[in-house]
Amino acid sequence: MMNNFMSWSLYLGRVAGISIRLHWILLIFWAFDLVSILQAGYPVWIWPMSILISFGCILLHEFGHCFAARAVGGHADHILLWPLGGLAYCDSPGHWRAKFLVSAGGPLVTLTLIALALTVSFAVPGLSRDTVGYPLRYAYAILIDWQIWLLVFNLIPIYPMDGGRMCHAALWRILQKTSRSYDAHSRAATATMWITRVTAAIGIVFSFWMANAMMALIFAWCIMNSGAVFNEAEDAGGIFGYGSSGWTAAPGRGISDWPAREPWWRRWLRRMKNKLRRSRAPIRFPVSEERERQRMDEILDKISRSGINSISSEESQFMQEVSRRWSKKKT
């Protein structure tokens, strides 16, 4: 399902091994924003300014999730930007600490951006909301006021937003430490589901009081998807945040059973050694075209049965190399 969702998007580029895509629905939203701005009589420059600043902030937020996933021993491959924010597709180890850190990575980046913007506004003489011209006041509102609102909203303990994921990870740890550990994940998921439903129901009432239909729809969507916390290991993506898949916690394992985390410098040295080893020993592919076609069929069959994430990096490189050579033959 997520592969179909991703296919309705535009490829923007690749940064640090992470592909960035823009969903086509976001283009429609931007067009409606332009029409609304023109109908309200606002200057046209407001439209590109708001798009650039919000686009950059959301993208950096998602990079926070991706790099946090890599820091805890997982990996991240894709970021999809769409009308409700961003989706970062991450794999992370199946224990509470990794899930909490990946969840907190995005809000931490947003908090850093707000702190930097406030520091600049206070440090530069004459650069404040009351003294600057209208363009900078509008940028100030987007970069600080809007980001603060989004940060607070995103940290509400409602799954699958970042606050709900952090709540689930924290409850997982508490239940693991205070009682039996073998089913702490499922009991934490049950508690998170009910916290989500109660908090979101209060949020819907508040949204109607504020006459904010979009906020009410988001809270209602969270209630309908609150049960997805039980399937977090298979979840492909989350609103306002990231998706986690891949490793799951082994039944009966407590946090003390997980291996101690290596220092960052050892992980960095190991990555450098692996890169050097790969560069010195390039992958050799079968020369025979018949063998290539046979192996391509095996890999494609593996993808159809288990999904794209089931193939190894060597198999992915093999497919790219063979596809490149086959396309050259056709031309």
**pLDDT tens digits, 9-63:** 788 888 888 888 888 877 887 888 788 778 877 777 778 888 888 888 888 888 9
The answer to whether position 192 is within a domain reads: yes
Instruction: Provide the pLDDT confidence category of residue 182 given band limits of 50, 70 and 90.
Output: low
End position of a domain, from candidates 199, 233, 251: 251
Count CB-CB contacts under 10 A for residue 183.
Answer: 15
Same domain, 306 and 206: no
Backbone torsions φ then ψ of 131, nearest 5 degrees: -105, -25
What is the model's pLDDT at position 198?
Answer: 92
What is the model's pLDDT at position 239?
Answer: 38
Backbone torsions φ then ψ of 108, nearest 5 degrees: -65, -40
What is the model's pLDDT at position 260?
Answer: 47
Token code pair at residue 39: 């109908």
324: domain range? 283-330
Among 258, 277, 257, smallest CA distance to 269 is for 277
The answer to whether position 163 is within a domain reads: yes
Torsion of CA 308, 313, 316, 321, to 10 degrees: 170
End position of a domain, from candidates 251, 274, 306: 251
Same domain, 247 and 288: no
The lowest-confidence range among 7-11, 105-109, 144-148, 282-286 is: 282-286
Q: How many domains does the chain have?
A: 2
Distance, in Å, from the CA atom of 37 to the CA atom of 74, rounded to the nearest integer, reads: 42
The answer to whether position 210 is within a domain reads: yes
Same domain, 242 and 297: no
Q: What is the mean pLDDT of residues 168-175?
A: 88
Same domain, 291 and 162: no
Same domain, 164 and 298: no
Q: How far is CA 24 from CA 10, 12, 55, 110, 223, in A?
A: 7, 12, 14, 25, 26
Residue 129 clears pLDDT 70, i.e. is over it = no
Angle between helices 184-209 and 162-178 (to 10 degrees): 140
Same domain, 195 and 48: yes
Residue 202 clears pLDDT 90, i.e. is over it = yes
Same domain, 71 and 173: yes
Instruction: Provide the pLDDT confidence category of residue 258 given band limits of 50, 70 and 90.
Output: very low
What is the model's pLDDT at position 328?
Answer: 66
Of residues 310 and 236, the one with the higher pLDDT is 310
Same domain, 216 and 298: no
DSSP alpha helix (H) spans, the chain? 2-7, 24-40, 46-71, 96-123, 134-140, 147-154, 162-178, 184-209, 213-224, 264-280, 289-306, 313-330
Residue 230 clears pLDDT 50, i.e. is over it = yes
The lowest-confidence range among 90-104, 192-206, 247-261, 263-277 is: 247-261
The answer to whether position 261 is within a domain reads: no
What is the model's pLDDT at position 180?
Answer: 66
Alpha-carbon Rg for the chain in angstroms: 23
Greatest mean pLDDT among 42-51, 118-127, 244-253, 286-295: 42-51
Distance, in Å, from the CA atom of 295 to the CA atom of 308, rounded to the nearest integer, reads: 16
Same domain, 188 and 307: no
The answer to whether position 269 is within a domain reads: no
Instruction: Provide the pLDDT confidence category of residue 234 given band limits of 50, 70 and 90.
Output: very low
Q: What is the mean pLDDT of residues 196-216?
A: 88
Angle between helices 46-71 and 96-123 (to 10 degrees): 140
Same domain, 89 and 190: yes
Q: Residue type for 326, please?
A: W
Q: Please, are residues 85 and 151 in contact by the beta-carbon 8 Å criterion?
A: no
Same domain, 109 and 230: yes
Q: What is the mean pLDDT of residues 191-206?
A: 91
